[in-house]
Amino acid sequence: MNVIPKIKSFLKSAKKPLIVILGPTASGKTALSLKIAHKFNGEIISTDSRQIYKGMEISTDIVKPEDQKEIPHHFLGITTPDKVLTMSEYAKLALDEIKKIYKRKHIPMLVGGTGLYISAITQAYKVPKVPPNLKLRNRLEKEAKLKGNEFVHKKLKKLDPKAAAAIHPNNLRYVIRAIEINLATGKNKPNLKNKPEFDTLFIGINWPREKLYGRINLRVDNQIKKGLVEEVKVLLKKKYKKNLPAMTSLGVKEMIPYIKGKSPLENCIETLKMNTRRYAKRQMTWFKRYDNVAWILPEELEKLL
């Protein structure tokens, strides 16, 4: 698939163009998005649910400051790890920013690996405005740890059978959020999809699994060299609560046992590599729900870059 002519053709016909660059972690989304943004006057909106936090630049592999100066980037380091930005809050901010980008006569681009954030924008989700209930989340997470994810999923099934049917028991975060919404509103989780308001071009990066896993392992090694352990030490010194989304992020939760003297660094690094590979697999499962993605193979990616 020759991506540049495809984008040119898309931009000629699209009334409200939105380009989405998606793919699993370590697939090369950042490099590809910078190339496309340079060529087509794009501005990048991060759809990474952890890059919104300050002080987590290494663990989230945030785009280099010099690249941010060349291409406008949005929603990088916009809040601190002790804050929780709900999906409804994120969606409103992102939609407002897209309108501003259009006014500047630029092309908005969604770039990141959080599928729910991408869907919230491209499928015009009606997101319930229910604030996080950290006590409830903490209790349900403890129950899942003691009794298994299926136990918590059965609770959702009693409250909201339709939501339970749509969410896998192992997707604990979404299971808990669905319970949270139901208990807060007394209503079942609504059908979230609306008619999309943008003309959207999805471009995905598709690596063979073994090659992607090799890239992930290399990325983790580089994160350690850049100072990942020191970054997590700073977060712990600020005494952020352990159940906050930021503190359960990849790269943070895996280093804590080493910092607290409970596990050797080598073991924590291997755990991070394993968890990142599993996360990449879940990302690809989510992305497969989009039936209109133009997938780029590694050979074409290398030529483009």
pLDDT the model gives residue 166? 65
Mean pLDDT for 272-296 is 92
Max avg pLDDT among 59-63, 124-128, 192-196, 290-294? 59-63
pLDDT tens, residue by residue, 159-168 = 888 778 767 7
Q: What is the pLDDT of residue 58?
A: 97
Cα distance between residue 212 and residue 28, in whole Å: 10
Q: Which residue from 245, 273, 299, 253 is spatially nearest to 114, judged by alpha carbons?
A: 245
Calculate mean pLDDT across residues 160-185.
Answer: 80
Residue 197 binned pLDDT confidence (cut-offs 50, 70, 90): confident
CB 239 within 8 A of CB 246: no
What's residue 192's pLDDT?
56
**Domains plus CATH for the chain?**
3-127+196-207+287-304 (3.40.50.300), 134-185 (1.10.20.140), 209-283 (1.10.287.890)
Give the pLDDT mean for 28-33.
96
Percent of the chain with pLDDT over 70: 95
What's residue 188's pLDDT?
Answer: 59
Residue 46 has pLDDT above 90, yes or no: yes
pLDDT value for 4: 93
pLDDT in the model for residue 291: 85
- Of the candidates 34, 40, 39, 43, the one whose C-alpha atom is nearest the C-alpha of residue 67 is 34
| pLDDT score at 288 | 87
pLDDT at 136: 93
Strand pairing class (107-111; 293-296): unpaired
